């Protein structure tokens, strides 16, 4: 007789495949759950925020209300976390949850998501969303490690529909202008350059015909905090080979030890706002305290 | 416990001419305090007024009826509103030659 995992009997968790310990389960019909906006680092004035961070603002709780159908709702309830770009090509927004880890162990980030453009045209509009992605921002006592994966939907109006990762470093900049103290830096790590295709990473998602219909997709990323390497990348029925994927690796930055930030991005490819909707996110790990 | 969110909808955005904040979804909230700070001015934006707009879809907007003073550089203004539906934004029309860096916060409560 097969043994079913205990969480299969829980209607909230049954659709996930968590590691033994749940670090955060965030169903956004319960609220914002600690997800917030990213502000680019700065000293003295917000004018010193690097340009790639200036479009960023607060995520919102969305019930997905549209002009022709009314409220769409989410998968697990009425509300999803909505991250919106500005209405211009390559505008990026990010929402993140800031945590730390107790032990360097395998972790997983699972989510149910949808991506859509703003419904400003009565057309298919499936190439208006540029990309969405997940960045982990991690640091142990010696290294800062930043795994980046994204689904590149369109680039310059051309269909792409593939998963990518980024491991090349972006140059850090001081952020105090002429009076920089040298204590705070910023790097535009999710910028447009340096992305590499995941081997076999082509995938067509369920766009579903018009901008106002969402179909919720499953996403899972696995990462080992001990070896600081990818262990899993999955979207719906596709599990990708992560053996060649590399995170960004750099020396430790000051005051970031044991950091575990879960950062979701959305990027437009057109003059329409691009939206990433997250129904729920589950972060789990496999550890025992020594 | 009632959900509450203070959303910084515009952060150091330069407002000039016809300007509006990004659409923000508020269907879950029943009340809002809108705060507007002027981080830096050119000209005299404080001679204009901003106003609150609401929308059923984030695309089509209508005036909610509340006016919001544009603060002088370094100052803060606010208004309280209730019963605003699904989407909220603030817009203004500034005189030629006037602009300011806006910090717009919606303090929302369930």
Q: Do residues B74 and B10 touch, judged by C-beta distance below 8 A?
A: no
Question: How much is the pLDDT for A171?
Answer: 87
Q: Which of A28, A29, A54, A58 is the best residue to mutate to test the B interface, defined by the most B CB atoms within 10 Å of its own CB?
A: A58
Question: How much is the pLDDT for A289?
Answer: 87
Q: Do residues B25 and A63 touch, judged by C-beta distance below 8 A?
A: yes
Boundaries of every domain in chain A: 17-167+202-285
Buried b (16+ CB within 10 A) or exposed e, A4-40: eeeeeeeeebebbbbbeeebbbbbbbebbbebbbbeb
* Option in A46, A61, A118 nearest B12 (CB): A46
In whole angstroms, what is the distance from residue A99 CA to residue A84 CA? Answer: 23
In whole angstroms, what is the distance from residue A184 CA to residue A62 CA? Answer: 34
DSSP H helical ranges for chain A? none
CA distance A76 to chain B (A): 16
Q: Do residues B10 and B21 touch, judged by C-beta distance below 8 A?
A: yes
DSSP code, position B72: P
Question: How much is the pLDDT for A1?
Answer: 57
In whole angstroms, what is the distance from residue A221 CA to residue A205 CA? Answer: 17
Q: Which residues of A touch B23 (CB under 8 A)?
A: 84, 273
In whole angstroms, what is the distance from residue A131 CA to residue A91 CA? Answer: 10
Question: How much is the pLDDT for A290?
Answer: 73
Alpha carbon of A249 to those of A40, A158, A181, A227, A280: distances in Å? 20, 31, 25, 12, 29
Nearest CA among A78, A101, A94 for reference residue A24: A101
- Per-residue pLDDT at B99 exceeds 80: yes
Cβ distance of A57 and B22 shorter than 8 Å:
yes
Averaged in consecutive runs of 10 residues, what is the pLDDT profile of chain A (290 residues)? 84 95 97 95 92 93 96 97 97 97 97 97 94 97 96 98 95 89 89 94 95 96 98 98 97 94 98 98 94
Q: Which of B58, B61, B73, B86 is the best residue to mutate to test the A interface, defined by the most A CB atoms within 10 Å of its own CB?
A: B58
Look up residue B12 and give its two tokens.
């150091």
Q: Which residues of A touch B59 (CB under 8 A)?
A: 67, 118-120
Nearest chain B residue to A82 by CA distance is B25
- Per-residue pLDDT at B40 exceeds 70: yes
Cβ distance of A62 and B10 shorter than 8 Å:
no
CATH number of the domain at A17-167+202-285, please?
2.60.120.260
The full set of domains in chain B, from first to last, is 4-109 (2.60.120.260)
Q: Do residues A160 and A146 touch, judged by C-beta distance below 8 A?
A: no
Question: How much is the pLDDT for A204?
Answer: 97
Q: Which of B2, B57, B73, B89 is the best residue to mutate to test the A interface, defined by the most A CB atoms within 10 Å of its own CB?
A: B57
Is residue A168 within a helix (H) or strand (E), and if so which, with residue range? Answer: none
Measured from the Cβ of residue B72, the count of other Cβ atoms closer than 10 Å reads: 14
The upper half-sphere exposure of residue A133, i.e. CA atoms within 13 Å in the direction of its Cβ, equals 27
Question: How much is the pLDDT for B14?
Answer: 98
Q: What is the pLDDT of residues B48-57, one digit of tens each?
A: 999 999 999 9
Q: Do residues B8 and B81 touch, judged by C-beta distance below 8 A?
A: no
């Amino acid at each position: 007789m097969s043994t079913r995992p205990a969480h299969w009997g829980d209607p909230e968790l049954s659709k996930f495949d968590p590691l033994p310990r749940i670090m955060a389960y965030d169903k956004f019909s319960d609220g914002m759950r600690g997800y917030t906006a990213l502000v680019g680092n700065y000293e003295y004035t917000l004018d010193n925020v690097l340009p790639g961070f200036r479009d960023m603002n607060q995520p919102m709780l969305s019930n997905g209300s549209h002009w022709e159908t009314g409220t769409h709702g989410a998968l697990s309830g009425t509300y999803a976390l909505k991250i919106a770009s500005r209405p211009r090509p390559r505008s990026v927004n990010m929402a993140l949850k800031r945590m730390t880890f107790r032990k360097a162990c395998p972790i997983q980030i699972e989510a149910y998501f949808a991506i859509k453009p703003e419904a400003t045209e009565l057309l298919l509009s499936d190439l208006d969303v540029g990309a969405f992605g997940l960045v982990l921002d991690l640091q142990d006592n010696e290294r800062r490690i930043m795994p980046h994966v994204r689904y590149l939907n369109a680039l310059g109006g051309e269909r792409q529909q593939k998963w990518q990762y980024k491991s090349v470093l972006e140059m850090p900049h001081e952020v105090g202008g002429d009076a920089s103290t040298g204590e705070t830096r910023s790097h535009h790590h999710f910028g447009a350059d340096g992305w590499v295709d995941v081997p076999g990473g082509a995938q067509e998602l369920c766009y579903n015909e018009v901008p106002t219909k969402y179909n919720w997709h499953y996403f899972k990323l696995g990462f080992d905090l001990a070896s600081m390497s990818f262990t899993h990348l999955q979207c719906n029925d596709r599990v990708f080979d992560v053996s060649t994927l590399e995170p960004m690796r750099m020396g430790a930055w000051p005051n970031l030890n044991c950091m575990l930030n879960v950062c979701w991005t959305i990027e437009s490819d057109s003059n329409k706002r691009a939206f990433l909707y997250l129904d729920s996110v589950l972060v789990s790990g496999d550890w025992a305290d020594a | 416990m009632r959900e509450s969110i203070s959303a910084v909808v515009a952060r150091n955005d330069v407002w000039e001419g016809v300007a509006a904040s990004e659409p923000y979804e508020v269907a879950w909230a029943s009340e809002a305090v809108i705060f507007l700070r002027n981080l830096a001015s050119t000209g005299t934006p404080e001679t204009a007024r901003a106003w609150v707009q609401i929308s059923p879809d984030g695309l089509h907007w209508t005036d909610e009826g509340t006016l919001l003073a544009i603060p002088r550089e370094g100052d803060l203004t606010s208004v309280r509103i209730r019963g605003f539906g699904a989407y909220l934004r603030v817009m203004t029309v500034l005189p030629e030659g006037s602009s300011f860096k806006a910090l717009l916060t919606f303090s929302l409560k369930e």
